[in-house]
Amino acid sequence: MASNAAAPFWRAAGMTYITYSNLCANLVRNCLKEPYKTEALNREKVHYSISKWVDGKPQKPTIRSDTPED
């Protein structure tokens, strides 16, 4: 039973709600029984490449891959 300060503690550490909820979901998925577990973990693969632009110039693109959470 989380106390009322549960929401802020992860936000104080710099996480957004999305990161927090993905983390929770990941933990739950890891506790599943076998056939459900592999099927759930297939739902977690991440891969994309992001490049930030400043003033019309692209900066070096970084690839984020295979980490469900940031």
Partner 1 sequence: MLRHGSRFLSRATTMRWRRPFSTNLAADAPVDSNFLESWRKAIPNVEPPKTPSAFMATRPETPSSIPSKLTVNFVLPYSSELSGKEVDMVIIPATTGQMGVLPGHVATIAELKPGVLSVHEGNDVSKYFVSGGFAFVHANSFADIIAIEAVPLDRVDPNLVQKGLTEFTQKLSTASTDVEKAEAQIGVDVHSALNAALTG
Partner 2 sequence: MAMAALRREGRRFATPLISPNPTNALRSSLIPSQEPVSSGVRCISTQVVRNRMKSVKNIQKITKAMKMVAASKLRAIQTKTENSRGLWQPFTALLGDTPSVDVKKNVIVTISSDKGLCGGINSTSVKISRAIHKLNSGPEKENKYVVLGEKAKAQLLRDSKKDIELIMTELQKNPLNYTQVSVIADDILKNVEFDALRIVYNKFQSVVAFLPTMSTVLSPEVVEREAEAGGKLGELDSYEVEGAETKAEVLQNLAEFQFSCVMFNAVLENACSEQGARMSAMDSSSRNAGDMLDRLTLTYNRTRQASITTELIEIISGASALEG
By CB under 8 A, name the binding residues for partner 2. Answer: 4-5, 7-8, 11, 16-19, 21-22, 25-26, 42-53, 55-56, 58, 61, 63-64, 68-70
In the complex, least distance from residue 34 CB atom to partner 2, rounded to whole angstroms: 20
3-class DSSP state for residue 63? strand
Q: Binding to partner 1 by residue 7, rule CB under 8 A?
A: yes
Q: At 24, which helix (H) or strand (E)?
A: helix 17-30
For residue 11, the Cα-to-chain-centroid distance in whole angstroms is 14
Cα–Cα dist 24/28, whole Å: 6
Question: What's the min distance (Å) between Cβ of 5 and partner 2?
Answer: 8
Residue 19, number of CB atoms within 10 A of its CB: 15
Q: Which of partner 2, partner 1, none is residue 46 near (CB under 5 to 8 Å by kind)?
A: partner 2
